[in-house]
Amino acid sequence: MATFPEYIAQNEERDGVRFSWNVWPSSRLEATRMVVPVAALFTPLKERPDLPPIQYEPVLCSRATCRAVLNPLCQVDYRAKLWACNFCYQRNQFPPSYAGISEVNQPAELLPQFSTIEYVVQRGPQMPLVFLYVVDTCMEDEDLQALKESLQMSLSLLPPTALVGLITFGRMVQVHELGCEGISKSYVFRGTKDLNAKQLQEMLGLTKPAASQGRGPQTAQQPLSNRFLQPVQKIDMNLTDLLGELQRDPWPVTQGKRPLRSLGVAMSIAVGLLECTFPNTGARIMTFIGGPATQGPGMVVGDELKTPIRSWHDLEKDNAKFMKKATKHYESLANRASTNGHIIDIYACALDQTGLLEMKCCANYTGGYMVMADSFNTSLFKQTFQRVFTKDVQGSFKMAFAATLEVKTSREIKVSGAIGPCVSLSAKGPCVSENEIGTGGTCQWKICGLDPSTTLALYFEVVNQHNAPIPQGGRGAIQFVTQYQHSSGQRRIRVSTTARNWADAQTQIQSIAASFDQEAAAILMARLAVYRAETEEGPDVLRWLDRQLIRLFMFHLRRSPFLQVFNNSPDESSYYRHQFNRQDLTQALIMIQPVLYAYSFNGPPEPVLLDSSSILPDRILLMDTFFQILIYHGETVAQWRKAGYQEMAEYENFRHLLQAPVDDAQELLHTRFPMPRYIDTEHGGSQARFLLSKVNPSQTHNNMYAWGQESGAPILTDDVSLQVFMDHLKKLAVSSAA
Amino acid sequence: MNVNQHTPMASPYGQPQPGYGQPGYAPLDGGYPAPYAPYNGPASAYQPGAPQQGPARGPPASGAPPVSAPQPYNQYSQSQGDMQNGPPLMTQAPPRPAVSQPYNHGAVNLPGPQPSFPQHYGPPPSMQQVTNQMTGMQIASGPPTPAGPGYAPPHSSQPPVSNAYSAAPPPSYTHAPPPVSSAPTQPPPPSGPAPSQQYYGGPPPPSQQQFNSSLPPTSQQQFTSPAPPPSSQQSFPPTSYSGPVPPPSQAPAPQVSQPQQPFPPTQPPFSSAPPPVSQPAFVSGPPPPAQGSFPPRAPPPSSQPGSFPPPGPPPTSLPSGQYTGPMPPQQQPPPTQPSPYHSGPPPPGSQMPPTSMAQSNHLPPGPQGPPGPPGPLQQHPPQPGMPGGFPPQQNGAFGQVRGPQPGYAGPYPGQPNYGAPAPAPAPAPPAQKRLDPDAIPSPIQVIEDDKAKSTEPFTTGVRGQAPPLVTTNFQVKDQGNASPRFVRCTAYNMPCTADMAKQSQVPLAAVIKPLATLPQDESPPYLVDHGEGGPIRCNRCKAYMCPYMQFIEGGRRFQCGFCSCVTEVPPHYFQHLDHTGKRVDCYDRPELSLGSYEFLATVDYCKNNKLPQPPAFIFLIDVSYNAVKSGMVNIVCQELKTLLDYLPRENPEMDSMVRVGFVTYNKVLHFYNVKASLAQPQMLVVSDVSDMFVPLLDGFLVNVNESRLVIESLLDQIPEMFADTRETETVFGPVIQAGLEALKAADCAGKLFVFHTSLPIAEAPGKLKNREDKKLIGTDKEKSLFQPQVGFYNTLAKECVAQGCCVDLFLFPNQYVDVATLGVVPVSTGGSVYKYTYFQAQTDKERFLNDLRRDVQKLVGFDAVMRVRTSTGIRATDFFGSFFMSNTTDVELAGLDCDKAITVEFKHDDKLSEETGALMQCAVLYTSCSGQRRLRVHNMAVNCCSQLADLYRNCETDTIINFFSKYAFRGILSNPTKAVRDTLVNQCAQILACYRKNCASPSSAGQLILPECMKLLPVYLNCVLKSDVLLPGADVSLDDRAYLRQLISCMDVAESHVFFYPRLLPLTKLESGSLPVAVRDSEERLSKGGVYILETGLHLFLWVGASVQQELLLNIFGTPSFSQIDPNMTSLPVLDNPFSERLREIIDSFRAQRSRYMKLMVVKQEDRTELIFRHFLVEDKSASGGASYVDFLCHMHKEIRQLLS
């Protein structure tokens, strides 16, 4: 048997799952003592190019409360053509189509290497993908121009059958009718008045002539397009022109005022439009905003420039008068969208805040993207947006729609909840724990938007009683069933079944300890912390966290923007947390503890401690914080560069040295979504602050003794260094133990 | 009159009559005799007379019964006399006298009826009867040649009448002679004699067919004779009918002679003459019967004569007296009811003589007695005899009648009167007498006279001078008062005191058309710039500098002519005075020498102290199913493509500054972005109509030239886009809101052109319900139908006015659209409503497009405020027109175009002085179509008088009618229609009665004496009363009434004149350069062999007689056959002959004169469409129950008599 790290890696590779413990304590009591719960980071759409799509439907356990999918862990009686469900032990007959089954002729789902398998559902119509652009027109001409170009470009990336729609807004909200010859039509709405779906339907003239909305046949007849959402292939030119003629919001903005931006109503209309035309069909509402909503429902700030947008300070003082109302508005939109399986993406490009704090749930509940940049005219936005439409080798988008994730567990373990871009479907069942962690109380979640890196944290609870025997078979199993709409329009079901050994904590504590996955646990705990931070008061969360353990990560986590709001705007915090909650483990780790590489003439690039002592004059540092890629030239290197040595042939090695981190950075930039901010700075540069704020302040103006020595640069901060933190932690650990 | 009434009445009468018949009649007769008697000895006379006649009439009574109902109408007998008076004065006194006489008669007749039947207008006897009577009457007068001559001399118009009469009447007139005699006699008592001519027993005719015979009542014709007197009577003569007086001198003689002759024949004529007359005029059934009955009656008359003789002499002696005879009724109002009829009859008998003219009625009796007595009588009557005599007669008659009535009364409460009348009618004899329509004041005559008189340009420098009539072409020279094209007053001599004004009841009002278009040869108001300080104004009352400001202290200060406050002259405006106290630069400055001019306003006069933006025009087009299907959308869009090049501009060299915007709508609104930089127009749909807003700013209102391509592309596409629409519901409130919001957003004033088809029933603010309920018509709730259904539009209108957003509404309804509600905004914002019911592209396109073109192109001012300042003593108290008022003095007009007039009523709040006269200054602050802020000032000074006579001599009937109609049409919003009508009649009667009482020389009460300037008042007022608004026919929709109501409210005098009294031209011969002389609006003026054109300002008819000459047909239609004329044609074929050319030229010129295009309708005689055409023959009884002219005149006379007694 391989080592645990290998095992973990293999499991992650195969099933997209990482557990905090890979051997489970067999009783509830013991599990509780472990402090870190049994939990998993699950990436439902983990890229598996080798996965053959199965062209039939899964075989389900016949017990109504179980409905688990036939999997390699099931015991099969080939002669009797029976299989026993490994979750409920129900014995099931194979369906007639499995008549030819035998030991040598096993279906794919029974093969151990297919513990994760994907079925393609043949039933039902192929639903088109729907992309609805919601575009702010209150922005500088340059920005608008850049945005228009990006949008026009995106049309060419869409599959020809995809439906697109366009809503623009400023002071008013315009829903554009597409494909009109000779005249462009749009429906205009006041930006201050919210409309429900029914009103909207009437006003857009989308009322169906047939009065009743029957099921089955009628839903099948649903028109596949309407005046506002039409196939790209049909209205490509039209829409390109339309975007080309898009004007900046013409309403005058007097000095000292913000433009009136009806974001809240625009999003409401977008949600309403899809709600009444394509319910339960994968759709993306892509919202591009150049500033905060300043009127109508969802406004986050008034139009007076002299009143700044709310800060954490205001929030603490309960001084943000629009915040609660706006949050409520966006929450209701998010719920409506997620109910219908629609994604809301937010691309906010402005120098100031745009209200992401209030709108975060739109992206968080629906699995949408949240992208924050300074301007639409930056490569950060342009490339990020372009990357949304990345395709896999089969030419399909790397995105899935309207997914539901169902978790099935063995009897000894139950699911407490999930943290990630999902909403509860409130499905009660035998495997739902009474203790809720994150979004709990259900064994099914809706994830409207998925991409291969979308990762959920799922928390479990061992319910086996202390005196009960180790469960039969000695393994606890968990099955993840993800149904989703593939970007090709097919419905697919991906099933991952995993099992872990039970161990008695009293007798096998060593093996349990060995099975601890530190990284996964760190992220899982961090998500929990962030979740609490979002829902509870800040300081309490830090204190709670402090009472938990885990060393290194916790130090950085405390200082990370996920928990620390100092120096961050509410929007930034929301943005960081959003990303943290959806990225996979590797990315999440980087977010918590940035990676620092050093480049010097002394040897090949090497990772160095994220410590102020790593900042040396003759080094080039490359820091990756996930959100930023920063290249820092040490004092000496910077001087060399300024002197232009890299231009001289004899110093080619210096040129290479300079080039190396840049190349590495480019590589990172190209693979990451959203695209990080790329910073090139040097010793004493203003941007160097990004680096200085991240490193462990082992040397500060407070411990001057370190000065003059060969190492590092002092950081001007009152924060404690890791060393101090650790000392303190040890003291606490001892005292608490005592 | 109400037909209904007649029938019922008839029956009742019929029955009663028998019983009463004798007694009643007896009285009646007696009544007549009485009249005569009165002369001798009233009291006694009555009784005796009564009995005697009674029997005689008894017989007629039988006949009468049926008539009875109609009788009331008789009362209407009208008096033309007054009119005539006027003319006579001037040149041909004699003619007028004749006219005056008729009045007298009329008066006589009237008295009787009035008392009892004042209200009966409606019923006015059947046309026929009336005509009969009329004819009788007239004839009488006619015969009396005197009348003829009289008229002839006086004026062409009248003369014709007289002639006409003469023809028929001659024989009957024999009686006339008596009048003649009277005339002579009258000379002395000028007025007296004239009046003497009672109508005739006009009443009698009524008796039978009261209304039909309305004519009879009109015996008035008789008055004609009096006309002459005018001369004699000082200024008043005319008015008083002194007309008659004049005769004394010259006319009298002739008349006398004639009359006398006539009279003699009269008696015979009566029997014979009447019948014939009746036949000609109304030929129709009614008359005959009447006649039939009459004949029998005739005998009675004869008998009467007998009886009369005795009394006759006396009465006759007082021809006037006889007439007075009728008069008496007035005095004896009580009997009145019966008397009317009686009076009618009696007059005939007794009056015959007096009425030389009217005679027909009188004639019978007259002849006998009259001849002799006339002379003497007349003289007498004037003094005591008249009154005394009359009263007695009537009294007697009435008294008796009443006797019977009481009984009836019981049975027929309310109608008792009629009953009485019935009996009266019984006096068939009266029936025989008819009021000759030619003998009553003729509008045509008056119009033609005025034309003849007005050869010189009218100069406005003389205070208190009435301008020529609106029907006359004249040039105006501004010499310090505003041109009558801008301001017309009801009275150019205002009473000095409130008491006088109240007594006379003449409305003091001015019709102001601030932006009126002037003819080419008159220069538009000069633009004056007083520099940065703005116009110089009085410190206290803020009146603007004008010729009435008196400069004092060497020119350093000026005293305000309005409030007498002294104000410093600003240094830059200082100028020395000459020796007369005038500024030296007086004639260099328009504001010191002219009545109308404009000031350039400064920023102080602008909204928000900001110079205004150029205005904008927004076109809002209904694109619902009906609109598309009718072709309206297509037509509008096609037309706009060219029309947009003709937006109003001040400098023809420059492009218009007006920006345009487009909206289409059904139950949602579509705005269009037509910014020049766009490759194609953008349509912005606003579905949220509950809270309207404008979805775009930039690109909605554009300059036509810059965005031409985009606009054309848009206009091409609109019809296409909605070609297949199935949307039938529309909104309306949000449409106006949208336009308003757009103007608000653009911060400018402007005009909305709304093209709308249906009742807005879609869910939206201002949604309406169909509330057309014919059952409410005639009830007290009727008024609610004229009020807006919801308050929403009032509020909206207010907002529009505040923004300077004027709304013009073009309606294309196929059913009820509630014009009363939809019109609220247009009317309150100074806009117009155009209605094209059952619009069809093919037939109505031309009319619509012409209206649209004119409406878009006409000069218009925006965001206007009008303020009328007056000199101390009077003040503007009430305003009528299309505007909004938020306080009591400022008239706010979101838009004011060149066709809109505002009628302003003045009331005294103090005394005026004769020296200074009364001044008024109308200042209109507005934004011109190029965005310039200006002040237009019109000044008007009128005289003040302490004598009522001066008032009556210098007033203008057309303007009074304009005021009355607006007053009444507004009145129906808050009062039952009937009450409004009654009020009008009362006021008119009071005006005339006051005149009669205070200005006319003493004359018999039976005379109808009309002021010269107001002699057309009854006929015009009758037209107002008969209008669809006040007296709707069964086929007149509520929308039509509301539409007309609103339309009238902003008409100027010329428009209201032709609207109420349409122009009817015979087309037999056409000469280039001049129009044929119009004929009166009566069917009897139409010749079967002729072709006529009739225009009302809204309608244009070409009436083709059934036996029209082939040549005419060929010339006009290019077809030789009557049956081949296509009744659906809307334009005449273009034929290459002088006649056709000239005719089309005339039609074009008519159209050019009116603010709305008139669709030509060809009406073939006896075709179904003739019914519509007949509606406009306003002198005839109308299908909806409106009285004929003759009937109404009789009624008016009755009312007057009642007031006088």
B525-577 pLDDT, tens digit per residue, is: 999 999 888 999 999 999 999 999 999 998 999 999 999 999 999 999 999 99
- Detail the DSSP E strand segments found in B957-999: none
B171 vs A4: which has the higher pLDDT? A4
The helix/strand/coil state of B1183 is coil
Compute the average pLDDT of residues B842-847: 90
The helix/strand/coil state of B512 is strand
Residue-wise pLDDT tens digits, B747-806: 999 999 999 999 999 999 999 999 888 888 878 888 888 999 999 999 999 999 999 999
Compute the average pLDDT of residues A626-641: 90
- CB of A96 within 8 Å of a chain B CB? The answer is no
Look at residue B291 and tell me whether its pLDDT is greater than 80.
Answer: no
**Contact call for A172 and B691, based on CB within 8 A:** no
Compute the average pLDDT of residues B1132-1149: 91
Look at residue B281 and tell me whether its pLDDT is greater than 80.
Answer: no
Look at residue B599 and tell me whether its pLDDT is greater than 50.
Answer: yes
**Contact call for A188 and B682, based on CB within 8 A:** no
User: Of A420-434, A464-478, B296-310, where does the model show the most confidence?
Assistant: A420-434
Look at residue A111 and tell me whether its pLDDT is greater than 60.
Answer: yes
What is the rounded (10 degree) CA torsion for A671, A675, A680, A683?
-100
Residues of each domain in chain A carrying CATH 3.40.50.410: 130-205+226-388
CA distance A299 to chain B (A): 20
Q: How confident is the model at residue B643 (pLDDT cuts 50, 70, 90)?
A: very high
Mean pLDDT (chain A) is 86
Q: Which residues, in sequence order, are bridge partners of residue A515? A: none
Contact assessment for residue A276 and residue A201, using Cβ atoms and an 8 Å cutoff: yes
Look at residue A613 and tell me whether its pLDDT is greater than 90.
Answer: no
Give the model's pLDDT for residue A294.
Answer: 94
Give the model's pLDDT for residue A529.
Answer: 85
Residue B985, C-beta contacts closer than 8 angstroms, at least 6 positions apart = B118, B121, B1021, B1025, B1195, B1196, B1199
**Contact call for A182 and B678, based on CB within 8 A:** no
- CB of B725 within 8 Å of a chain A CB? The answer is no
For the record, the structure tokens of B388 come out as: 């005394």
Give the model's pLDDT for residue A622.
Answer: 92
Q: How confident is the model at residue B941 (pLDDT cuts 50, 70, 90)?
A: very high
Instruction: Quote the CA–CA distance of A217 and A213 in Å, as a whole number.
Output: 10
Instruction: Quote the CA–CA distance of B222 and B664 in Å, as a whole number.
Output: 64
Residues of each domain in chain A carrying CATH 2.60.40.1670: 4-122+395-516
In terms of Cα–Cα distance, which of B490, B487, B482 is closest to B962? B490
Which of A692-706, A716-730, B187-201, B456-470 comes out lowest in average pLDDT? Answer: B187-201
User: Of A543-552, B300-309, B751-760, where does the model show the most confidence?
Assistant: B751-760
Instruction: Quote the CA–CA distance of B31 and B19 in Å, as a whole number.
Output: 18
How many CB atoms are closer than 10 A to CB A126?
Answer: 12
Please, where are the H alpha helices in B273-331? 274-282, 287-297, 299-307, 313-317, 319-324, 327-331
Look at residue A715 and tell me whether its pLDDT is greater than 90.
Answer: no
- The amino acid at residue B582 is K
B261 vs A557: which has the higher pLDDT? A557
Give the model's pLDDT for residue B881.
Answer: 92
Instruction: Quote the CA–CA distance of A660 and A655 in Å, as a whole number.
Output: 9
- CB of B1077 within 8 Å of a chain A CB? The answer is no
A326 vs B344: which has the higher pLDDT? A326
Look at residue B363 and tell me whether its pLDDT is greater than 60.
Answer: no
- The domain defined by A4-122+395-516 carries CATH number 2.60.40.1670: yes
Compute the average pLDDT of residues B1023-1044: 89
Compute the average pLDDT of residues A518-532: 87
A positions 248-277 inside 8 Å of B (CB): 250-252
User: Of A559-573, B98-112, B221-235, where does the model show the most confidence?
Assistant: A559-573
Instruction: Quote the CA–CA distance of B428 and B291 in Å, as a whole number.
Output: 8
The helix/strand/coil state of B187 is coil
Instruction: Quote the CA–CA distance of B947 and B498 in Å, as a whole number.
Output: 13
Q: How confident is the model at residue A711 (pLDDT cuts 50, 70, 90)?
A: low
Q: How confident is the model at residue B678 (pLDDT cuts 50, 70, 90)?
A: confident
CA distance A230 to chain B (A): 18
Task: Find which of A138, A171, A188 to mutate to test the B interface (most B CBs within 10 Å of its CB).
Answer: A188
Instruction: Quote the CA–CA distance of B1008 and B959 in Å, as a whole number.
Output: 22
- The amino acid at residue B1152 is A
Residues of each domain in chain A carrying CATH 3.40.20.10: 594-730
Q: Given A183, A247, A251, which is nearest B714 (Cβ)? A: A183
**Global pTM value:** 0.75
For the record, the structure tokens of A508 come out as: 């096998």
The helix/strand/coil state of B623 is coil
CA distance B1189 to chain A (A): 59
With contacts defined as CB-CB under 8 Å, which chain A residues touch B685?
177, 185-188
Say what percent of chain B tops pLDDT 90: 42
Compute the average pLDDT of residues B134-151: 35
Give the model's pLDDT for residue B30.
Answer: 37
Give the model's pLDDT for residue B806.
Answer: 95
CA distance B491 to chain A (A): 55
Compute the average pLDDT of residues B428-436: 50
With contacts defined as CB-CB under 8 Å, which chain B residues touch A247?
698
For the record, the structure tokens of A430 come out as: 């035998």
Residue-wise pLDDT tens digits, A50-91: 888 888 889 999 988 889 999 998 889 888 889 999 888 889
- CB of B701 within 8 Å of a chain A CB? The answer is no
Q: Which residues, in sequence order, are bridge partners of residue A658? A: none
B280 vs A123: which has the higher pLDDT? A123
CA distance A150 to chain B (A): 22
Residue-wise pLDDT tens digits, A233-244: 988 898 998 899
With contacts defined as CB-CB under 8 Å, which chain A residues touch B684?
174, 185-188
Residue carrying structure tokens 């650990």: A733
End-to-end CA distance of chain B: 25
Give the model's pLDDT for residue A107.
Answer: 87
Secondary structure, 3-state, B970-985: HHCCCCCHHHHHHHHH
Instruction: Quote the CA–CA distance of B1188 and B1019 in Å, as a whole number.
Output: 9
Residues of each domain in chain A carrying CATH 1.20.120.730: 519-588
What is the rounded (10 degree) CA torsion for A284, A289, A295, A297?
20
Task: Find which of B667, B674, B693, B711 to mutate to test the A interface (most A CBs within 10 Å of its CB).
Answer: B693
- The overall longest dimension of chain A from CA atoms, in Å, is 84
CA distance B610 to chain A (A): 18
For the record, the structure tokens of B271 come out as: 């029997």
For the record, the structure tokens of A514 come out as: 């060995």
Give the model's pLDDT for residue B1047.
Answer: 92
> How does DSSP classify residue B225?
T
Give the model's pLDDT for residue A1.
Answer: 52
The helix/strand/coil state of A1 is coil
Give the model's pLDDT for residue B434.
Answer: 60
Look at residue A286 and tell me whether its pLDDT is greater than 50.
Answer: yes
Give the model's pLDDT for residue A735.
Answer: 67
**Contact call for A188 and B697, based on CB within 8 A:** no
How many CB atoms are closer than 10 A to CB B899?
Answer: 22
Contact assessment for residue B395 and residue B313, using Cβ atoms and an 8 Å cutoff: no
Residue-wise pLDDT tens digits, B99-125: 333 333 433 344 333 333 434 443 444
Give the model's pLDDT for residue B1109.
Answer: 87
Residue-wise pLDDT tens digits, A466-514: 777 776 567 889 999 999 998 888 889 999 999 998 888 778 888 888 8
Instruction: Quote the CA–CA distance of B423 and B65 in Å, as a whole number.
Output: 6
**Contact call for B680 and A182, based on CB within 8 A:** yes
Instruction: For domain A594-730, give its CATH number from 3.40.20.10, 3.90.1150.10, 3.40.800.10, 3.30.300.130.
Output: 3.40.20.10
Give the model's pLDDT for residue B1095.
Answer: 93
Give the model's pLDDT for residue B757.
Answer: 94
What is the rounded (10 degree) CA torsion for A556, A557, A558, A559?
50
Contact assessment for residue B304 and residue B368, using Cβ atoms and an 8 Å cutoff: no
> How does DSSP classify residue B562?
T
The helix/strand/coil state of A628 is strand
Q: How confident is the model at residue A223 (pLDDT cuts 50, 70, 90)?
A: low
Instruction: Quote the CA–CA distance of B201 and B204 in Å, as a whole number.
Output: 5
- CB of B734 within 8 Å of a chain A CB? The answer is no
Instruction: Quote the CA–CA distance of B1140 and B1115 in Å, as a whole number.
Output: 6
Q: Given B680, B684, B717, which is nearest A186 (Cβ)? A: B684
Give the model's pLDDT for residue B279.
Answer: 37
Q: Please give the full DSSP string across B45-78, using - where no structure is assigned.
A: HHHHHHHHHHHHHHHHHHHHHHHHTTHHHHTB--
Q: How confident is the model at residue A549 (pLDDT cuts 50, 70, 90)?
A: low
With contacts defined as CB-CB under 8 Å, which chain A residues touch B698?
247, 250
> How does DSSP classify residue B556?
T
Q: Given B679, B686, B699, which is nearest A188 (Cβ)? A: B686
CA distance B629 to chain A (A): 22
Q: Which residues, in sequence order, are bridge partners of residue B491? A: B955
Q: Is the dihedral of CA A346, A349, A350, A351 positive or negative?
A: positive
Which of A89-103, A438-452, B226-240, B1036-1050 comes out lowest in average pLDDT? Answer: B226-240
For the record, the structure tokens of A222 come out as: 């649903």
- The domain defined by A519-588 carries CATH number 1.20.120.730: yes
- CB of A87 within 8 Å of a chain B CB? The answer is no
How many CB atoms are closer than 10 A to CB A17?
Answer: 25
Give the model's pLDDT for residue B156.
Answer: 37
- CB of B747 within 8 Å of a chain A CB? The answer is no
Give the model's pLDDT for residue A540.
Answer: 66
Give the model's pLDDT for residue A689.
Answer: 86
Instruction: Quote the CA–CA distance of A421 and A363 in Å, as a whole number.
Output: 8
CA distance A343 to chain B (A): 27
Contact assessment for residue B315 and residue B377, using Cβ atoms and an 8 Å cutoff: yes
Say what percent of chain B tops pLDDT 70: 64
Look at residue B150 and tell me whether its pLDDT is greater than 60.
Answer: no
Residue-wise pLDDT tens digits, A169-184: 999 999 999 888 888 8
Q: How far is CA A689 from CA A693, A694, B831, in A?
A: 6, 9, 70
Q: Please give the full DSSP string across B1050-1071, using - where no structure is assigned.
A: T--HHHHHHHHS-EEEE-SS-B
**DSSP percent split of chain B into helix, strand, coil, nearest 5:** 45, 15, 40
Give the model's pLDDT for residue A547.
Answer: 62
Q: Within 13 A of B1186's CA, how many CA atoms are on the CB side?
A: 30
Give the model's pLDDT for residue B1008.
Answer: 83
Instruction: Quote the CA–CA distance of A251 and B297 in Å, as a whole number.
Output: 89
Q: Please give the full DSSP string across B765-828, using - where no structure is assigned.
A: TT-------GGGTTSGGGGGGGS-SSTHHHHHHHHHHHHTEEEEEEE--SS---HHHHTHHHHH
Q: What is the CATH number of domain A130-205+226-388?
A: 3.40.50.410
Compute the average pLDDT of residues B223-243: 37
ipTM: 0.84
Residue-wise pLDDT tens digits, B28-63: 333 333 333 333 333 333 333 333 443 334 333 333
Q: Which residues, in sequence order, are bridge partners of residue A450? A: A400
**Contact call for A182 and B717, based on CB within 8 A:** yes
> How does DSSP classify residue B391?
H
Look at residue B1050 and tell me whether its pLDDT is greater than 50.
Answer: yes
Give the model's pLDDT for residue A147.
Answer: 95
- Detail the DSSP E strand segments found in A580-666: 595-600, 603-607, 620-624, 628-633
Instruction: Quote the CA–CA distance of B511 and B918 in Å, as a whole number.
Output: 16
**Contact call for A250 and B699, based on CB within 8 A:** yes
Residue-wise pLDDT tens digits, B453-480: 888 899 998 888 899 999 999 999 999 9
Instruction: Quote the CA–CA distance of B70 and B47 in Å, as a whole number.
Output: 26
Look at residue B200 and tell me whether its pLDDT is greater than 70.
Answer: no
Q: How confident is the model at residue B306 (pLDDT cuts 50, 70, 90)?
A: very low
